[in-house]
């Protein structure tokens, strides 16, 4: 079913799509149409072994026997305009609101000081050593969100539970060592995790990989006495006006394709070493 | 540093496994030119057979654990939702996880751990352990299926053998008596002891698949398409001599010399005389391994200084250099600039040399220059410029060779990456005809990917399914029929060495009168394969 609906496996669809694309762009797609015609990958092929698929207009790269997929090769080689106002790849966002916010070109914006700007309560010092760090939540290497994350084999690859990655200098600052329990606390919540100290981390930034489930090895926190949270316990969505631009060239929303970037990952947190016994 | 703990199914390797002063794996060359296992010859082995002093303990791997999953469903109503906390798989008690199969993955553990890497210790200051100066790369490791395996030499029971027809090193599960000398002898620490079965286990190179011309599971499922499989013909009579060359830096060349050129008419004639099927010779001719190792010379053996003549070879990585060059105002992809930068790569060339060439930097330098040249040469083509033969010449290749190498490394399709002929007794028509089998360590109760669900010890001994070239058709029949491996030749036999004392395994007592079998409840020990795997 899927194989019949995708242009990559159903050449007739791909050819039709490229014909339509050629009509819209007025450029030469004959090679792609020609290659697509007659291609058909069926379930039996997939059962037999890995089967190469072909180019299709829903993707931006070309596939052929003498090359590997690389994004945007259809744009480059067949003059298909990019889905932007100018039809080119560009960083410059020509929209009044973006100009007003001074963000027509990519700029660095430090995390907001929520306490000063919005009167959010500050995390007061507890007398313990602590570091204030940027808190990033990248996708993990071995899992897709929580999928594959919490089975025993995956857990035995590392610390057997949720971890936060920290630089050597930050760990020294809170007198914590690799595999120690730490707590990350900010205005949004509390996370209890083990520390992975690594010299691949820059000082001042910690990672907590995406979607480490709360069902395994998450103790009660020292800070609240309640169960610790997950990576998103420390984040919060903030909508800013530029997110609301829509219906304007590349600002037009398309599912899983174009949309405003999230800024909830731009968080700051306090990290402290846990001093009391771990309780579940 | 190098993340070499990858193994599809196994509890990592003992920490610092490469330090043979400590672990005593591989061979040493005696002054008279003979090789003896580093752990000692026959007499020493016999003397230490009951208490091998260099056996890695389970703590050297890691203490296995599971979780009290039941809490998740059985916990009483409370303020907080329940979580499963770790329990030792050895004692069942709550435990603090303090080491695991991939603890130092992605430089986890920081400089403190990285500095314990035996190669880092040897190189000292050359290896930087700070942010933006450090490096890491992955080194997926399986059994090396060595030409001169120490494990085979060290087994007191003769249970380990290297198959003559395809070179795969296997443990005969019937013969293995669990002496574990192979665990010590293997310098790569890729033989494991199964505490449940009391037998040694290792990567089988997925021989049931390989016999019918299919690639191993680890190769086929590699998302990066970085594994290649192929036949390499070699002169078995010269292996001993090559493994015993005096200078360990000559081992790489010596091993290359042992490889035979399948295009050579003399080699073809000898192969025919020795009964090697023509399709094997043809396969060897198309072998991506021979191409990478000998024709292009970009693949290198892992730790040749262990003198086992390992047969899983690696293409060492170029590390980020283009950006660094560009930042200094140079064209980072230009050949001369790239060549000049090879000494300044973030991964010190000495580090790679310690891994792949017993410390000799010249072969590694050549590989990196060739990879850099390929980049530069192909970039011109990509940009529609003229082909520049001088780039190829600078690394002792021709443009056509570089393009061939590029094709093999970057584009090669399935049947170019895996050139696997069917085995001797298997017809070409049988190619690919096999029920999908998983990783060899993945049988019931085994510690493979699917088998770690419960504690890897206890009553239910594992029963590895047997499949050999000799029994291919029998295997296929069995796979397509209802019955399992039970009910075959070994019915009614019991191996008391495997019996852990619990229950009464079938066959412990003779059947009761009236034909009924003993129903004593104990599944206990069912000895391994119904057929031995010996050639």
pLDDT in tens, A162-176: 999 999 999 999 999
What is the Cα–Cα distance from B400 to B95, expressed in whole angstroms? 59
For A100-103, the CB contacts below 8 A with 24+ separation are: A101/A240, A101/A241, A101/A242, A103/A242
Residues A137 and A226 in one domain: yes
The distance of A273 to chain B (nearest Cα, Å) reads 16
What ipTM was reported for this prediction? 0.87
Number of compact structural domains in chain A: 2
pLDDT at B9: 40
Q: State both tokens at B396.
A: 């002792």
What's the rounded mean pLDDT across residues A7-12? 91
* Beta bridge partners of residue B137, listed in sequence order: B2
Q: Do A280 and B413 touch (CB under 8 A)?
A: no
Say if residue A160 is in the same domain as residue A229. Answer: yes
Any domain includes A16: yes
What CATH number does residue A269 fall under? 2.40.40.20
**A151 and A196 part of one domain:** yes
Give φ, ψ of A6 to 5 degrees: -100, 135
Indicate yes or no: pTM above 0.90. Answer: no
Contacts of A218 in chain B (CB under 8 A): 83
Q: Which residue, of A78, A104, A124, is where some domain finishes?
A: A78
* Domain contains A13: yes
Both tokens of B134, joined, read: 């450090």
Nearest-CA distance from A201 to chain B in Å?
A: 7
Does residue A83 fall inside a structural domain? no
**DSSP assignment of A132-184:** EEEEE-PPPSS-BTTBTTSSHHHHTTTTSS-EEEE-HHHHHHTT--TT-EEEE
B85 touches chain A (CB under 8 A): yes
Cα B70 vs. chain centroid, distance in angstroms? Answer: 36
For A18, the domain range is 2-78
What's residue B390's pLDDT? 94
Domain extents in chain B: 247-417
Q: A246 with A138, same domain?
A: yes
Which residues of chain A neighbour B413 with C-beta distances below 8 Å?
Answer: 52, 65
Q: Which residues lie across from A165 on neighbouring strands?
A: A196, A207
Closest Cβ opposite residue B85 in set A158, A202, A217: A217
**DSSP conformation letters of A60-109:** SS--BTTB---TTHHHHHH-PPPSSSSSS--S----HHHHHTT-SS----
DSSP state of B419: -
Please answer whether residues B94 and B87 qualify as being in contact, where contact means their C-beta atoms are separated by less than 8 angstroms.
yes
Let me know whether A31 and A123 are in one domain: no
Cα separation of B451 and B441, whole Å?
8
Residue A28 inside a domain? The answer is yes
Residues A50 and A130 in one domain: no
Evaluate whether residue A98 is within a structural domain. no
Residue A66 touches chain B, beta carbons under 8 Å: yes
pLDDT at A254: 78
Whether A65 and A172 map to the same domain: the answer is no
Q: Which is higher by pLDDT, B439 or B504?
A: B504
Tokens matching residue A82: 């990019």
Across A189-193, B23-27, B77-81, B517-521, least confident range: B517-521
- pLDDT tens for B488-507 read 444 455 666 556 666 666 66
Return all residues near B345 (Cβ < 8 A) that are at least 6 apart: B318, B319, B321, B368
Provide mean pLDDT across the span B160-177: 94
- A125 falls within a domain: yes
Statement to judge: residues A245 and A181 lie in one domain: yes
> What pLDDT was estimated at residue B442?
55
B111 in contact with A, Cβ within 8 Å: yes
pLDDT over 90 (residue A143) = no
**pLDDT of B529 higher than 70:** no
Between strands A163-166 and A189-197, the pairing is parallel
Query: Which of the residue ranges A11-25, A265-279, B36-50, B440-454 would you say has the lowest mean pLDDT?
Result: B440-454
In angstroms, rounded to a whole number, what is the distance separating the alpha carbons of residues B408 and B228? 10
Write the DSSP assignment of B5-60 as a string of letters.
---SSS----TTTT-HHHH--SEEE-TTS-EEETT--HHHHHHTSSS-TTPPPHHH
Instruction: Map tokens 């619990």 to a residue.
Output: B502
Do A120 and A257 belong to one domain? yes
- A133 and A255 inside one domain: yes
Q: What is the dihedral of CA B479, B480, B483, B488, to 10 degrees?
A: -60
Residue B357 in tokens: 């060439």
Q: Tell me: the pLDDT tens digits for B471-487?
A: 455 545 544 444 444 44
Does the domain at B247-417 match CATH 3.30.70? Answer given as yes
Could you tell me if A247 and A159 lie in one domain?
yes
Return the number of other C-beta atoms located less than 10 Å from residue B45's C-beta. 20
Q: What number of residues does chain A have?
A: 280
Residues of B in contact with A141 (CB under 8 A): 106
Please tell me whether residues A123 and A52 are part of one structural domain.
Answer: no
Inter-residue contact A191 to A208 (CB < 8 Å): yes
Within-domain flag for A99? no
């Amino acid at each position: 079913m899927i194989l019949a609906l995708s242009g990559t496996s159903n050449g007739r669809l791909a050819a039709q799509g490229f014909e339509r694309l050629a009509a819209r762009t007025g450029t030469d797609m004959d090679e792609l149409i020609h290659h697509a015609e007659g291609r058909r990958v069926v379930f039996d092929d997939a059962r037999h072994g890995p089967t190469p698929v072909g180019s299709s207009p829903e993707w931006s790269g070309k596939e052929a026997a003498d090359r590997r997929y690389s994004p945007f090769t259809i744009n480059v080689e067949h003059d298909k305009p990019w889905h932007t106002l100018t039809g080119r790849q560009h960083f410059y966002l020509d929209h009044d609101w973006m100009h007003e916010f001074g963000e027509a070109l990519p700029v660095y914006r430090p995390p907001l000081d929520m306490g000063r700007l919005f009167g959010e309560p500050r995390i007061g010092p507890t007398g313990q050593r602590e570091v204030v760090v940027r808190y990033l939540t990248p996708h993990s290497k071995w899992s897709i969100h929580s999928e594959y994350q919490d089975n025993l084999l995956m857990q035995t690859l590392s610390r057997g539970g949720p971890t936060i990655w920290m630089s050597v200098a930050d760990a020294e600052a809170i007198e914590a060592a690799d595999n120690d329990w730490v707590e990350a606390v900010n205005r949004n919540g509390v996370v209890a995790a083990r520390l992975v100290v690594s010299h691949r981390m820059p000082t001042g930034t910690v990672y907590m990989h995406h979607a480490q489930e709360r069902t395994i090895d998450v103790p009660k926190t020292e800070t609240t006495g309640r169960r610790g949270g997950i990576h998103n316990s420390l984040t919060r969505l903030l909508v800013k006006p530029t997110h609301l631009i829509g219906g304007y060239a590349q600002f037009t929303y398309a599912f899983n394709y174009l949309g405003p970037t999230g800024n909830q990952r731009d968080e700051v947190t306090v990290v402290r070493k846990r001093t009391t016994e771990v309780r579940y | 540093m190098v993340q070499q703990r990858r193994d599809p199914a196994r509890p990592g390797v003992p920490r610092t496994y490469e330090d043979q002063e400590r672990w005593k794996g591989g061979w040493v060359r005696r002054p008279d030119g003979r090789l003896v296992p580093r752990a000692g010859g026959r007499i020493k082995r016999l003397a230490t057979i009951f208490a091998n002093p260099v056996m890695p303990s389970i703590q050297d791997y890691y203490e296995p654990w599971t979780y009290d999953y039941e809490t998740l469903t059985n916990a009483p109503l409370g303020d907080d939702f329940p979580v499963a906390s770790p329990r030792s798989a050895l004692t069942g008690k709550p435990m603090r996880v303090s080491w695991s199969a991939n603890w130092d993955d992605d430089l986890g553990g920081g400089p403190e751990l990285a500095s314990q890497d035996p190669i880092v210790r040897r190189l000292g200051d050359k290896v930087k352990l700070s942010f933006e100066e450090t490096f890491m790369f992955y080194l997926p490791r399986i059994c090396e299926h060595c030409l001169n395996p120490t494990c085979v030499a060290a087994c007191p029971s003769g249970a380990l053998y290297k198959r003559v027809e395809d070179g795969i090193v296997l443990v005969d599960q019937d013969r293995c008596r669990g002496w574990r000398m192979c665990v010590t002898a293997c310098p790569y620490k890729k033989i494991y002891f199964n505490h449940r079965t009391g037998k040694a286990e290792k990567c089988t190179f997925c021989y049931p698949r390989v016999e019918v011309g299919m690639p191993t599971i680890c190769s086929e499922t590699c998302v990066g398409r970085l594994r290649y499989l192929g036949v390499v013909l070699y002169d078995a009579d010269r292996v001993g001599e090559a493994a015993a060359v005096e200078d360990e830096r000559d081992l790489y060349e010596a091993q290359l010399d042992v490889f035979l050129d399948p295009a050579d008419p003399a080699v073809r004639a000898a192969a025919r005389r020795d009964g090697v099927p023509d399709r094997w010779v043809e396969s060897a001719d198309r072998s991506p391994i021979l191409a990478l190792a000998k024709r292009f010379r970009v693949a290198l053996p892992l730790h040749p200084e262990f003198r086992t003549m390992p047969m899983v070879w690696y293409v060492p990585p170029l590390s980020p250099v283009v950006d660094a060059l560009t930042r200094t105002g140079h064209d980072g992809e230009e050949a001369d600039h790239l060549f000049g930068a090879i000494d300044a790569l973030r991964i010190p060339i000495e580090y790679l040399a310690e891994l792949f060439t017993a410390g000799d930097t010249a072969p590694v330098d050549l590989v990196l220059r060739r990879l850099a040249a390929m980049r530069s040469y192909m970039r011109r083509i990509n940009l529609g410029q003229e082909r520049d033969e001088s780039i190829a010449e600078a690394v002792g290749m021709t443009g056509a060779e570089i393009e061939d190498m590029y094709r093999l490394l970057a584009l090669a399709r399935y049947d170019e990456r895996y050139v696997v002929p069917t085995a001797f007794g298997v017809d070409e028509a049988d190619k690919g005809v096999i029920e999908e089998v998983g990783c060899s360590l993945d049988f019931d109760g085994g510690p493979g990917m699917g088998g770690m669900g419960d504690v890897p010890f206890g009553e239910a001994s594992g029963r590895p399914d047997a499949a050999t070239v000799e029994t291919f058709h029998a295997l296929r029949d069995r796979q397509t029929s209802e019955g399992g491996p039970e009910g075959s030749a070994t019915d009614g036999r019991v191996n008391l060495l495997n019996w852990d004392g619990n229950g009464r395994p079938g066959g412990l007592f003779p059947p009761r009168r009236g034909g009924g079998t003993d129903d004593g409840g104990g599944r206990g020990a069912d000895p391994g394969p119904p057929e031995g795997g010996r050639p």
